[in-house]
């Protein structure tokens, strides 16, 4: 094929028409894919998150599904005045705009009163130390009870009048009473000091005679006669 014929075909309208048609098809395909993705993902659309706080979880789940959103429980809390399984909090917050299908995480009210394990504060800490430790852990502290003993030393802990010890589970809304010393000893705590007695049966505070005790030799028949002769000779 001559070069003139090749360039003639290259510049023909038929060839350029096919190329233009292919370009148009590619453009239409790209536009169609983009429009399909936008329709599928609701691109540019936003949904306002409804407020479902203090609603039961079943009702909140239905409301979220109707709005095109997904609700997931990720934490629990406890509010005594609210129903169990009601919504306490949301993330994102109500009123925010999100895309359809977005997940909204919620905190629900626990049906059971949470408990805390009592730490070891009895007979090894002061009143101030025990109160600071228990308060930091979330215990509900009542007025301390004063008992005979070293001032401000912790001798016990009670809940509803019942003695508790380290390791016991206590409800977070139960009043905890710390029993601390009032600085006065009970009469039953008095101690009688007795002087120690040594091996010889003598008290430590008793005076001891320093003269050495001498034991007389035993008297025999011969020694008795000798003593009689000595007396007679005198």
Query: Whole-number mean pLDDT of the chain?
Result: 80
Q: Is pLDDT larger for residue 24 or for residue 3?
A: 24
Which tens digit of pLDDT belongs to each residue from 130-158? 999 999 999 999 999 999 999 999 999 99
- What the chain holds in terms of domains, given with CATH numbers, is 47-109 (3.30.10.20), 115-187 (3.30.10.20)
Give mean pLDDT, residues 83-90: 94
Which tens digit of pLDDT belongs to each residue from 169-188? 999 889 999 999 999 876 55
Place of tokens 């395909």: 29
Question: Residues of the chain with pLDDT > 90: what percent?
Answer: 52
Q: Is pLDDT larger for residue 51 or for residue 191?
A: 51
Tell me: pLDDT of 191 over 70.
no
Query: What pLDDT is recorded for position 20?
Result: 76
Triad 217, 222, 223: Cα angle to 5°: 35
Query: What pLDDT is recorded for position 27?
Result: 87
Q: Indicate the pLDDT class of residue 113, thresholds 50, 70 and 90.
A: confident
Q: How far, in Å, are 18, 116, 117 from residue 138 at the CA level?
A: 78, 8, 10
Query: What pLDDT is recorded for position 205?
Result: 52
Q: Is pLDDT larger for residue 211 or for residue 172?
A: 172
């Amino acid at each position: 094929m001559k070069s003139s014929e090749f360039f003639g075909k290259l510049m023909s309208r038929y060839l350029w028409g096919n190329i233009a048609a292919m370009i148009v098809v590619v453009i239409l395909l790209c536009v169609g894919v983009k429009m399909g993705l936008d329709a599928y993902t609701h691109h540019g659309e936003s949904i306002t998150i409804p407020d479902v706080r203090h609603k039961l979880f079943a009702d909140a789940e239905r409301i979220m599904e109707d709005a095109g959103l997904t609700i997931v429980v990720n934490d629990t809390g406890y509010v005594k005045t609210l129903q169990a399984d009601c919504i306490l909090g949301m993330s994102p917050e109500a009123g925010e705009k999100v895309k359809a299908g977005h997940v909204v995480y919620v905190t629900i009210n626990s049906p059971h009163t949470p408990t805390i394990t009592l730490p070891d504060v009895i007979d090894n800490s002061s009143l101030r130390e025990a109160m600071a430790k228990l308060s930091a852990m979330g215990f509900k502290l009542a007025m301390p009870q004063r008992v005979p003993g070293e001032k401000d030393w912790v001798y016990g802990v009670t809940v509803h009048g019942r003695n508790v010890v380290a390791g016991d589970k206590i409800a977070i809304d139960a009043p905890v009473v710390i029993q601390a010393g009032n600085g006065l000893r009970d009469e039953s705590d008095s101690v009688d000091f007795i002087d120690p007695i040594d091996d010889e049966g003598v008290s430590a505070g008793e005076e001891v005679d320093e003269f050495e005790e001498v034991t007389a030799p035993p008297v025999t028949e011969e020694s008795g006669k000798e003593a009689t002769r000595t007396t007679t000779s005198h």
